[in-house]
Amino acid sequence: MTFESSPVRTDWTRDEIAALFDLPFTELVFRAAEVHRANHPANQVQRSTLLSIKTGGCPEDCGYCSQSAHADTGLKATKLMDPRAVLQAAAQAKDHGSTRFCMGAAWRNPKDRDMPAIVEMVKGVRAMGMETCMTLGMLTDAQAKTLADAGLDYYNHNIDTSPERYGEVITTRSFEERLETLEHVREAGINVCCGGIVGMGETRGDRVGFIHALATLPVHPGSVPVNALVPVKGTVLGDMLADTPLAMIDDIEFVRTVAVARITMPRSMVRLSAGRESMSDATQALCFLAGANSIFTGDKLLTAGNAGDDKDAALFARLGITPMAAECKVELEAAE
Ligand code: SF4
């Protein structure tokens, strides 16, 4: 299904985005709902499943992540999974109604020796008729092309937060390196999945900067995951927030962030990701009203808990939401 009705702008200014955040709450959600309805089926939500194909021991120092070797979370590092086990998990996800299978590895970047197994996973999942997404860290130009040739549909690479805040959250790589990998992915012809995390103790100004960075990319990401930090003891941010719980984002501000993402990136899929497990049904319903139209299903999100299939099915039934079929996804076009 292709929708033509909303112009796609990549020239948003920070002031415009700040003004959206400042709108009265119901006005903001109303506008976001209008944009949502003009560009997507209003009561359909895409379901994706995320599998950790290589857990823990990551050399990066992302302050929110339990998989970082710099964190003290007791998480046991594993090797890259056997492609056959990955395909088994994908088949199960398909049986549970997922239309996209996302595979994540806790790496700074994949080694070339890992690529044959990765390619096997992509080809195998695609052969099941599901969309594929990978998140493997930074990619070279050549690795992006290899993944494109294997038929990878999406590559996830989050910018995490605003460019200004980035260095306070991660020191082992730069915001510019993130943008470089996104460019390699785009140039290889793979759809970009890119979002970040709110509730990391950032300011409203950082949330403005975060959405601004996404909405002014040369092409909007096809998927925009909006995560709420799940504080994990032993990580820098988890420990910090345990001492200052007021720094955590409140539900209204989270819904505002979803609404602003929807308005500024009208054709993207806006995905509720980590943090959904602890959200009330009412908050999730507000997020759907504000334009979120994709969720992760299953009991686990990499190493964090998730809402679980039964709970989601009950919520969908109460809200009259139907799962989005794979062919219903919006075709993104380059921004005019
Ligand atoms: S978020 Fe990714 S890159 Fe950062 S530490 Fe965790 S696994 Fe590594």
Predicted pLDDT at 71: 92
Q: Does residue 175 lie within any of the structural domains?
A: yes
Nearest to 56 by CA among 75, 83, 72: 75
Predicted pLDDT at 274: 84
Please state the rounded mean pLDDT for residues 73-83. Answer: 91
In the residue annotation, 328 being an active-site residue is answered as no
Q: Does residue 328 lie within any of the structural domains?
A: no
In the residue annotation, 271 being an active-site residue is answered as yes
- Of the residues 31, 102, 207, 276, which is catalytic? 102
Q: What Cα–Cα distance (Å) separates residue 224 from each residue in 85, 157, 302, 314? A: 28, 10, 18, 25
Range from 53-57, 210-214, 227-231, 305-309 carrying the lowest mean pLDDT:
305-309
Ligand 1 center from residue 136 Cα (angstroms): 9
Predicted pLDDT at 98: 84
Q: How many Cβ atoms sit within 10 Å of the Cβ of residue 237?
A: 23
Is residue 323 predicted with pLDDT exceeding 70? Answer: yes
How confident is the model over 149-173, as pLDDT tens digits? 999 999 999 999 999 999 999 999 9
The pick from 68, 107, 193 for probing ligand 1's pocket by mutation, whose C-beta has the most ligand atoms within 8 angstroms, reads: 68
Range from 26-40, 69-83, 287-301 carrying the lowest mean pLDDT:
287-301
Residue 74, domain extent? 12-317
Give CA torsion, residues 181, 183, 184, 186, to 10 deg: 120
Please state the rounded mean pLDDT for residues 198-207. Answer: 94
Q: Does residue 332 lie within any of the structural domains?
A: no
Number of domains forming the structure of the chain: 1
How confident is the model over 15-71, as pLDDT tens digits? 999 999 999 999 999 999 999 999 999 999 998 888 999 999 999 999 999 999 999
Which segments within 58-205 are labelled E, that is strand?
Answer: 100-105, 131-135, 154-156, 191-193, 196-198
Q: Does residue 329 lie within any of the structural domains?
A: no
* CATH number of the structural domain spanning residue 82: 3.20.20.70
Q: Does residue 2 lie within any of the structural domains?
A: no
328 is annotated as contributing to ligand binding: no
Would you call 245 helix, strand, or coil by DSSP? helix
